[in-house]
Amino acid sequence: MVNKTPLRPIERTSASFIDDMMTKTPCSNEELADTFDTTAEVIAAIRAGTLPVPLAWVPRIAYAIGFDNGSLMRMALDEQWFDSIMAIARTLVWEQGEIERDLLDFFAELNHGQVPDVDDGSRHWERIQNMFRA
């Protein structure tokens, strides 16, 4: 089982912090939404914690609420690090799978439509070398 706990204990969520700061500043949901070309409902969902704070938005949110960008980013990353790493890993695995499918197609074509026997790798390597020598 993978440990999904934050890197350090979360005292406050980034959503609750943004919500608190926005009530103390003249920044409204509509004004912040205009900054990101989104709707006030999306900002409300971020403030309520039902939508994670988009990491790419953190610098502009920090500026809008008058808070340190690095501190707000650390808060958001503490909450999202596991999901972010998993998304990256899924993307890499998917790309690797696509490369493997392309290689299988290539070798099947090289082997006259038959998927090659993995134990016969040396014969296929010789054929590849001969193709590039020709």
Q: Give residue 84's pLDDT.
A: 83
Given a contact cutoff of 8 angstroms between Cβ atoms, the answer to whether 16 and 75 are in contact is: no
Q: Is 87 helix (H, G, I), strand (E, B) or coil?
A: helix
Given a contact cutoff of 8 angstroms between Cβ atoms, the answer to whether 120 and 133 are in contact is: no
Q: Give residue 124's pLDDT.
A: 60
Q: Give residue 133's pLDDT.
A: 64
Q: Which fold has domain 14-133?
A: 434 Repressor (Amino-terminal Domain) (1.10.260)
User: Is the pTM above the cut of 0.85?
Assistant: no
State yes or no: pLDDT of 111 exceeds 60.
Answer: yes
| pLDDT, tens only, 25-70 | 889 999 999 999 999 999 999 999 999 999 999 999 999 999 999 9
CA distance 27 to 114: 64
Given a contact cutoff of 8 angstroms between Cβ atoms, the answer to whether 17 and 74 are in contact is: no
Q: Give residue 119's pLDDT.
A: 59
Q: Give residue 48's pLDDT.
A: 95
With cut-offs at 50, 70 and 90, classify the pLDDT of residue 7. Answer: very low
Give the residue among 115, 107, 100, 104 at the shortest CA–CA distance from 131. Answer: 107
Q: Give residue 86's pLDDT.
A: 79
State yes or no: pLDDT of 19 exceeds 90.
Answer: yes
The domain segmentation of the chain, as residue ranges, is 14-133
Q: Is 96 helix (H, G, I), strand (E, B) or coil?
A: helix
Given a contact cutoff of 8 angstroms between Cβ atoms, the answer to whether 64 and 54 are in contact is: no
CA dist 89 to 1, 76, 82, 96, Å?
16, 19, 11, 10
Q: Report the Cα–Cα distance between both ends of the chain, in Å, rounded.
A: 52
Q: Is 8 helix (H, G, I), strand (E, B) or coil?
A: coil
| pLDDT, tens only, 78-102 | 898 888 887 777 777 666 677 766 7
